């Protein structure tokens, strides 16, 4: 397993983590991480769209449907586990579980780097699943939060109408607004837009931008993961506040997601080892870009440090370092059955 970790992307993640632990003054300029993530989404979208342009429409539609099912289903599983654990209240359970239905593009791209290093081919369909899975979990998280809020208000004998709204809009207007935000989220628009461009652009014109979207891609990913390593390490101090049970959740939930993803990827969608591993990573990863701002805005009662520590400080490093090789081993086993 150790040799599988010796790829530059993972090593730069470790370097960022180490830099923060030893209190180095290494620091990225403001907004660089955001700029790098824009580049990465654009590049993966163009590349995936170009490949999808040559793909089978029925399989693509099937992938979209399963991406939606995973996006809606994983938060429900997470919410149930968290509520049963009784370690967090229902509002925190809703906000945390939303993160686990959405995806981490950083983890997905690390898995792509991992597959490239092992020279394993992968299907292009998981890229469209990546785009589709950004938003549904936000919707489920908001609905779970609205439901929990109403239940809490009923228990306390007060009206819950409009308790989620931060200003003058009513409760339903607020929900509509947040739903629109979920589906017009910048990452979703960029990823889907780049995929459409990649799919419809003339192949000879794509050759011209190939150096930009392919040859420098892994280098940019290394820079992005260096910063994410620092961000992940910054969360270590919060572990005590999060508590052992939630830390276990932050590891168990991706393992469960990975298992479900492997079964969906291979048995349902019929992907090979590469494609199945990517579906496993999608189901296993937790969002730390799109979902946290949505939850901070719409579920202000939830503690942001809990869901950020879980998704960015625990699940993300676990997936990058241990999860991807584990899901690969599981995929090999299932494919070999």
Binding residues for another protein, rule: CB under 8 A, are 28, 30, 33-34, 163-168, 227, 230-231, 234, 238, 288-289, 292-293, 296-297, 300-302, 304-305, 308
Residue 244 to residue 250: CA distance in whole angstroms? 10
Instruction: Output the smallest distance, CB 96 to another protein, in A.
Output: 14
Residue 65 to residue 291: CA distance in whole angstroms? 21
Instruction: Output the smallest distance, CB 58 to another protein, in A.
Output: 36
At 175 the three-state DSSP class reads helix
Our CB check for another protein shows the closer of 34 and 151 to be 34
Residue 73 to residue 101: CA distance in whole angstroms? 7
Tell me the H-state helices in 86-185: 90-101, 105-117, 125-132, 136-156, 171-183
Our CB check for another protein shows the closer of 110 and 311 to be 311
Q: How far is CA 7 from CA 64, 110, 124, 211, 228, in A?
A: 30, 9, 22, 21, 16
Our CB check for another protein shows the closer of 4 and 305 to be 305
Q: How far is CA 269 from CA 14, 47, 123, 273, in A?
A: 33, 21, 11, 12
Cα end-to-end distance, the chain, whole Å? 22
Instruction: Output the smallest distance, CB 97 to another protein, in A.
Output: 17
Our CB check for another protein shows the closer of 282 and 290 to be 290
Instruction: Output the smallest distance, CB 18 to another protein, in A.
Output: 17
Report residue 151: phi and psi, to 5°.
Answer: -65, -45
Instruction: Output the smallest distance, CB 286 to another protein, in A.
Output: 13
For residue 29, the 8-state DSSP code is P
Residue 234 to residue 35: CA distance in whole angstroms? 20
Instruction: Output the smallest distance, CB 37 to another protein, in A.
Output: 9
Our CB check for another protein shows the closer of 199 and 289 to be 289
Our CB check for another protein shows the closer of 134 and 231 to be 231
Instruction: Output the smallest distance, CB 274 to another protein, in A.
Output: 29
Our CB check for another protein shows the closer of 30 and 202 to be 30
Instruction: Output the smallest distance, CB 59 to another protein, in A.
Output: 34
Our CB check for another protein shows the closer of 123 and 227 to be 227
Residue 212 to residue 328: CA distance in whole angstroms? 29
**Cβ pair 112, 122 in contact under 8 A:** yes
**Cβ pair 227, 237 in contact under 8 A:** no
């Amino acid at each position: 397993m150790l040799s599988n970790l010796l790829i530059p992307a993972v090593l730069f993640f470790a370097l960022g983590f180490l830099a923060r632990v030893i209190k180095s003054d290494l620091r990225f300029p403001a907004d660089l991480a955001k700029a790098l993530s824009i580049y990465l989404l654009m590049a993966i979208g163009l590349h995936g769209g170009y490949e999808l342009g040559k793909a089978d429409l029925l399989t693509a539609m099937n992938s979209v449907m399963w991406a939606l099912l995973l996006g809606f289903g994983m938060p429900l599983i997470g919410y149930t586990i968290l509520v049963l654990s009784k370690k967090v209240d229902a509002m925190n359970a809703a906000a945390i579980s939303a993160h686990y239905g959405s995806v981490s593009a950083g983890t997905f791209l690390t898995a792509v780097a991992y597959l490239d290093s092992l020279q394993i081919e992968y299907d292009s369909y998981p890229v469209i699943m990546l785009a589709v899975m950004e938003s549904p979990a936000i919707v489920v998280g908001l609905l779970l939060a609205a439901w929990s809020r109403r239940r809490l208000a009923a228990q306390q004998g007060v009206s819950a109408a409009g308790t989620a709204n931060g200003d003058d809009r009513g409760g339903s207007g607020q929900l509509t607004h947040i739903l629109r935000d979920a589906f017009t989220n910048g990452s979703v628009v960029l990823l889907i837009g780049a995929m459409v461009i990649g799919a419809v652009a003339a192949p000879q014109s794509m050759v011209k931008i190939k150096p930009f979207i392919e040859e420098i891609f892994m280098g940019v990913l290394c820079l992005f993961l260096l910063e994410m390593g620092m961000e992940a390490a910054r969360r270590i101090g919060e572990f005590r506040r999060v508590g052992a049970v939630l830390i276990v959740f932050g590891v168990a939930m991706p393992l469960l997601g990975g298992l479900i993803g492997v079964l969906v990827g291979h048995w349902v969608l019929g992907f090979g080892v590469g494609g199945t591993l990517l579906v496993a990573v999608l189901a296993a990863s937790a969002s730390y870009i799109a979902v946290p701002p949505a939850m901070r805005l719409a579920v202000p009662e939830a503690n942001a440090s809990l869901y950020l520590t879980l998704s960015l400080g625990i699940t993300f490093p676990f997936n990058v370092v241990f999860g991807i090789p584990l899901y690969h081993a599981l995929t090999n086993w299932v494919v070999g059955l």
